[in-house]
Structure 1
Amino acid sequence: MGSLAPVLFVFVLAAALVTCSALFVPKGPHQVTIRTALMLTFAATYLMWMVTYMAQLHPLIQPIYSLRTE
């Protein structure tokens, strides 16, 4: 079944991308805007993936099986 390993692996990947976007954006008049946009993009993408992944692992509504056969 699923484990916590993919969530942690993708978190480390997202953190690395955020760090790279903070360090390697070229200097210029819009450096802060570009940095902020990249960091928010990586954070939002990770959160959306993690919520979707966890919802598939632990659904709120269980399947209902019907024992009736017609």
Structure 2
Amino acid sequence: MNAEAPALTGREQQVLHLLSSGDTISAIARQLRLSPHTVDTYLRRLRTKTGAVNRTQLAVYAVRHGLAGRSAGQGIRP
């Protein structure tokens, strides 16, 4: 994964937060009122930006950058 934190959009941060909280793609889609395909697109973009190769690495990235957990992102839910 990239050592330097890339700039993430607000929506990317929301998706990453929910993913790191253990939510599935379907659950993220419901909460953000998006299609599962759109969530998958966000996850693909996040993997590209962060250098992660899978969702587990994205979750680790979220923890390391303070974007993980239910309490960390309470204010970023729509």
Q: TM-score range by the shorter chain?
A: 0.3 to 0.5
Larger RCO: 1 or 2 (CA < 8 Å, sep 6+): 2
Quick check: which has more Rg, 1 or 2?
A: 1
Q: Which has the higher helix share?
A: 1
TM-score when scaled to structure 1?
Answer: 0.33
TM-score when scaled to structure 2?
Answer: 0.31
